[in-house]
Amino acid sequence: MSAVSTPHVTPTPARRDAEATKAAILKAARHLLARHAHADITLKAVADRAGVSPPLILKYFGNKDTLFARVMSFETDADALLAAPLDGLGPHMVRHMLLSQSEQGADPLLRIVFAPLHGEQGDILRANFRTQVTDRLTARLTGPDAGLRAELAVATLLGLGVMYGIARGTEVRATAIDALVDRYAPTVQAYLSP
């Protein structure tokens, strides 16, 4: 560890370790939630992936539900997904989805697919998805029926993620991504700038 020069703003090494551990736990939970149904994920699986013990997760986050409630935001995913000018947004979104799946095994946007149909957890995920992804895309669009078009553009993207991340069962090869972007981007773009 480097020297702590300004102790009143920089955390102590112990505090930094705790923060790094919490971040690792959140990252592990986020990873698993994009790949498995809520009920399929055990605290032990999160702990194994984060390299910590299950009791440490309980100490930091209380229980599985309170832990998962912490990783239900789509804000940073939408930042990355929508980081392109409108006239090139379709290709960017398609490439982003396929690259996430190729490099990380799943795109975090697909957490919405595993949102439980009943219960508070699913309701929170759905509300976040709407405001943080669909509504945010809607605000970028011009012309009639912007809300519906945003919804359908996101639908095409979720379908791509489900097909190549779940239904096929084999990950997209990096070399296949360009061809898929060429084929599928016009489908998405048609809803963004009709």
By CB under 8 A, name the binding residues for its own copies: 35-40, 112-117, 122-123, 126, 129-130, 134, 148, 151-152, 154-160, 162-164, 166-169, 183-184, 187, 190
Smallest distance from the beta carbon of 30 to its own copies, in angstroms?
Answer: 16
Contact 1, 16 (CB under 8 A): yes
CB-nearer residue toward its own copies: 20 or 163: 163
| Alpha helix segments (H runs only) across the chain | 13-33, 43-50, 54-61, 64-69, 75-81, 89-104, 120-129, 135-140, 146-162, 177-192
CB of 54 to its own copies, least distance (A): 18
- DSSP character string of 9-34: TSPPHHHHHHHHHHHHHHHHHHHHHT
Residue closer to its own copies, measured from CB, 22 or 137: 137
Report in angstroms how near the CB of residue 25 gets to its own copies at its nearest.
21
Q: Which is nearer to its own copies, 34 or 67 (CB)?
A: 34
Nearest approach in angstroms of CB 92 to its own copies is 17
Nearer to its own copies, 61 or 129 (CB): 129
Contacts of 83 (CB under 8 A, 6+ apart): 92
CA distance 124 to 108: 15
Task: Give 61 or 164: the residue with its C-beta nearer to its own copies.
Answer: 164
As a whole number of angstroms, the distance between CA 80 and CA 30 comes to 16
